[in-house]
Amino acid sequence: MKPLSRSDGIIFVALIFPFFLTLTYFVLLTGSSALVQKMVYGTGKIFQFILPVFWVGVVCRERWLVRCWNTRGFAEGAAFGISVAIAMILLYIFWLGLPEQLLGNGTPASLAIITKMNGLGITNGQQFFLLGVFYSVIHSGLEEYYWRWFIFGRLQNGRSWLFAAVISSLGFTAHHILLLGTYFGYNSPFCWLGSLGVAVGGLYWAWLYKRSDSIWAAWISHGFIDAAIFFIGFTVCFR
């Protein structure tokens, strides 16, 4: 394994930054105004997604290459994303959405989700729908560019792809633990089962990125799963 370099320092920052951003706006600022939470979230996300471009193009002075559309791995990625999305929705409809289960009316998790959305200023179905479209269509692609193209891709330099996939997936999972823990409680098995699912998804998308040499396939896969999450969230908050 190659020795540490200054690139490893920026990768370490990139790995932990989303965790601390989520910790700040999603946990520590609970009770603050929606404006404050949104400003911290927006500023943090701008920094997060500009960092790779700045590092590669300005600091390392590497040629910035925007990949053209290609279909390598696209069908596989779409099939994976659709399969997981359908499984999640069916699990919710036939089990978790029942009143006595995890996300039914009046359950602690459903109340926590509604309270958190209200605290972030998401108070009606139209706002939630637009948020879901943003996350499913745009944010999913930005995450693939950040986690797979930048972090996974840079970690591969001089190291095995499996090492890079595991480390990048752990970073990808870390801030999701905060989200799931806030909604379900850190002592809930659903928090950790959900986090395991995120980690498996991160590993799969790293593997898919390696084989397709493009974020397109992972992007569409990620987007379908995010759409399912927001569909479930919509029914929890606005049914």
Inter-CA distances, 113 with 86, 109, 131, 152, Å: 21, 6, 14, 31
Query: What's the whole-number average pLDDT of the chain?
Result: 93
Comparing 89 with 7, the larger pLDDT belongs to 89
Read off the pLDDT of residues 100-125 as tens digits, 9 standing for 90 and up: 899 998 999 999 999 999 999 999 99
- How many Cβ atoms sit within 10 Å of the Cβ of residue 106? 8
Q: Which of 102, 118, 119, 100 lies closest to 110, judged by CA?
A: 102
Specify the pLDDT at position 4. Answer: 52
Rounded to an integer, what distance in angstroms lies between the CA atom of residue 46 and that of residue 43? 5
Q: Show me where the domains of the chain are located.
A: 6-238
Tokens of 230: 């927001």
Q: Is the pTM of this model over 0.85?
A: yes
Indicate if the pLDDT at residue 2 is higher than 60: no
Read off the pLDDT of residues 194-212 as tens digits, 9 standing for 90 and up: 999 999 999 999 999 999 9
How confident is residue 66, by pLDDT bands cut at 50, 70 and 90? low
DSSP 2: P
Specify the pLDDT at position 62. Answer: 84
